[in-house]
Structure 1
Amino acid sequence: MSSAVTIVRFHKTGSADVLQFDQIPLPEPGQGEVRIRVKALGLNRAEIMFRNGQYLETPVSPSKNGYEASGIIEAVGPDVDSKWIGKAVSTVPGTFKLNEHGVYGEVAVVPFHGIAEYPSTLSYEEGASIWMQYLTAYGALVWLGKIAKGDFIVITAASSSVGVAAIEIAKAEGAISIAVTRTATKKAKLLELGADHVIVTDEEDLVVRVNEITSGKGARIVFDPIGGKILESLAAATAPKGTIFEYGALAPEPTPYPLFTALAKYLTIRAYTLFEVTPDPIFPKAKQYIFDHLASGAFKPIIDKRFRFAEIVEAHRYMESNAQIGKIVVTL
């Protein structure tokens, strides 16, 4: 085994070009940690924001990056059962800090509590495309939103991996998904992936279409990672006593609070992230729910495009283009 490995770090914030390949000594797992020989990486929007210095965690130079990896455990810390060596696992976002345990590299050292097994029928690429999307959607829709059969669910940025996962979860729970996308280029694919309705905001009025679809009732749940001005339209499209989950901040402009609409409808506009799920007692139940639905085939990670490890800068650029439907994966 080589005494040195390559990882990806950035020494200053900025565009994708700040990502660089650094050689470091092979790291040994410490107390409560495991080392994974990485086979695939699943990219997430949070990693773009972190690289830009616009995330919940502030980068400390030189900073690691990356939440999701799949691979084989090749070493364990002194207090971790050695029986885990040789097992295929993936890493779970929300269980570690990017600065400390980012997974972009030939190997990744992460906390033992930050790994999970996945169905053996999945490939390494699919194994790296699970937890961010499904846990994020599960937490809002199933755990907090308690969606039920017949509920109307508006899902913005629906072509993202989390958006696609939300469509699958809505279908599994018998809810009616209303996927929202900017351009018509993604409409057919979203319908193919199971969306019950698709609204193209470049061509259609979001509020008018939601009212048509729901016969004027509005959506009980809105699942939105964008924020910004669209929140006003989303509030107008939400049913009385409905809930809007804001789980991101992709909009370039500030997010206005739709006070009068919220007052008139008794709306709940709730900030939410995956980090609420992982430390909660619901976490094991959430993981089991996702595992079971993956094993049954009800959930199927959608991989949009694969890049080689040497192309990780190009992979970041591609994510920033917003062209993808589903997950962007880097293979090693």
Structure 2
Amino acid sequence: MKALVAARLGMPPEMMVQDRPMPRIQPNQSLVRMHAATINPLSSYVRQGEIATATSPLVLSNDGAGTIEQSSRFTPGTRVAIYGGGELGITEDGLQQQWVVVDDKRLIVLPATLSLDEGAALPINYVTAHQAITRVGKLKRGQTVLIPGATGALGYALVQTATALGATVIAVVSNANKAAHARSLGLSSVIDLSQCELIETVMSRTDGQGVDLAFDPVGGAMLGLLVRALRQRGAVVSIGFAGGGRAEFDVIDLVVHEKRILGYDAHLESEADADHALTEVQRLAEAGYLRPVIDSTYTFDNFEDGYRRLASRQAMGALLLRVDTKS
């Protein structure tokens, strides 16, 4: 079988397609014929040598989708999505290969309403969104939330999940193309930062009060702006740092208005919490609330184009590596 392997981690990374033997199934595991795996920020950080626990050679990506070929739990042919947690693509070989053997607990059955491409983009982003919103942010139905990077894979997962859980969502994007795309997806309240100022616009849409919660997959200077956009005793949940690893905020504003800055990392989820989140993601997807958007797909022949697209921060949805040559 073919596998895309990071032979050397660092800058620049050394990646190559290798022929590898078929993996062997063990008890409580399933053999999955992969359809597609994600090209996501984590796989980019790993291949650049920024994750200390990762060592080469390593197959990247911690979420994807395929069909069951052999299993004691699932019927052959069952379409499944794979949640890699903090191991696959980091400390163990991941999903950018044609067949994988994975623990049954990492699999969720895809509803008929989702394609395999959509299923590949479901696990990590939507588990992250669900847990950041519920476990960390403790969202209450009817609250108003602010979400920057709303047309990115994680940003849109946050938008859909918050909406499904009863929030009023204000989406934030960086340019007119992304604003148009956000509206085409059904987002009614969109702030285009190329056309208006964030704080002023948020205050005008919240009667001068600010938002209850903000969920930040961007980081950098955006985090400081989101703190300013909060109402009294509001909270920002910081999830990503594609926009930078440092932020500035007004300490007086933070203290006087009892605002909070919270962090979230999906790789710290307990097994029980991850199981609960996967169940909820599956339930909401089956009910039609969750549907990932795919920006573009790549193959073993042009995978570097996918990583360049990721680095451009212009993607509007998930990036996939198609590994099933019959697709």
TM-score (normalised: structure 2)? 0.90
Seen in structure 2, the aligned counterparts of structure 1 residues 16 and 203 have a Cα distance that, compared at 3 Å, is farther
Deviations 1:57-80 (A, max 9, x none): 53201122111121122245xxxx
In structure 1, what residue type is equivalent to 2:289? A
Other structure's SS at 1:153 match? strand
Seen in structure 2, the aligned counterparts of structure 1 residues 16 and 136 have a Cα distance that, compared at 3 Å, is farther
In structure 2, what residue type is equivalent to 1:139? Q
Selected match of 2:69 from 64, 74, 82: 74
Q: What is the aligned partner in structure 2 of residue 133 from structure 1?
A: 125
Deviations 1:79-114 (A, max 9, x none): xx2655443211113153423131101112222221
Query: What does 1:31-70 align with in structure 2 at a 5 Å threshold?
Result: 31-55=27-51, 57-70=52-65
1:222 & 1:248 partners in 2: Cα distance? 13
In structure 2, what residue type is equivalent to 1:145? G
Seen in structure 2, the aligned counterparts of structure 1 residues 16 and 180 have a Cα distance that, compared at 3 Å, is farther
1:137 & 1:222 partners in 2: Cα distance? 12
Q: What is the aligned partner in structure 1 of residue 165 from structure 2?
A: 173
- Paired residues in the alignment total 322
Contact 2:59 2:97 in 1 (8 A): no
Q: What is the aligned partner in structure 2 of residue 313 from structure 1?
A: 304
Q: What is the aligned partner in structure 2 of residue 294 from structure 1?
A: 285
Other structure's SS at 2:111 match? coil
2:292 & 2:12 partners in 1: Cα distance? 25
1:260 & 1:163 partners in 2: Cα distance? 29
2:73 & 2:141 partners in 1: Cα distance? 44
How much identity, in percent, do the aligned residues show? 25
Contact 2:114 2:291 in 1 (8 A): no
Structure 2 residue 259 is matched with structure 1 residue 267: yes
In structure 1, what residue type is equivalent to 2:220? G
In structure 2, what residue type is equivalent to 1:72? T
Query: What does 1:20-169 align with in structure 2 at a 5 Å threshold?
Result: 20-55=16-51, 57-76=52-71, 81=72, 83-94=74-85, 96-98=87-89, 99-169=91-161
Deviation at 1:17, TM superposition (A): 6.3
Deviation at 1:222, TM superposition (A): 0.8
Other structure's SS at 1:39 match? strand
Deviation at 1:236, TM superposition (A): 0.8
Seen in structure 2, the aligned counterparts of structure 1 residues 39 and 137 have a Cα distance that, compared at 3 Å, is same
Contact 1:16 1:313 in 2 (8 A): no
Contact 1:10 1:20 in 2 (8 A): yes
In structure 1, what residue type is equivalent to 2:109? E
Deviations 1:240-273 (A, max 9, x none): 1111111112123523454322212212211102
Contact 2:34 2:67 in 1 (8 A): yes
Deviation at 1:275, TM superposition (A): 2.4
1:148 & 1:61 partners in 2: Cα distance? 43
Deviations 1:197-222 (A, max 9, x none): 22222332211111111111111111
TM-score (normalised: structure 1)? 0.88
Other structure's SS at 1:293 match? helix
In structure 1, what residue type is equivalent to 2:144? F
Seen in structure 2, the aligned counterparts of structure 1 residues 252 and 296 have a Cα distance that, compared at 3 Å, is closer
Structure 2 residue 230 is matched with structure 1 residue 234: no
In structure 1, what residue type is equivalent to 2:14? V
List gaps (5 residues or longer) in structure 2. none
Q: What is the aligned partner in structure 2 of residue 325 from structure 1?
A: 316
* Higher alpha-carbon deviation: 211-220 or 86-95: 86-95
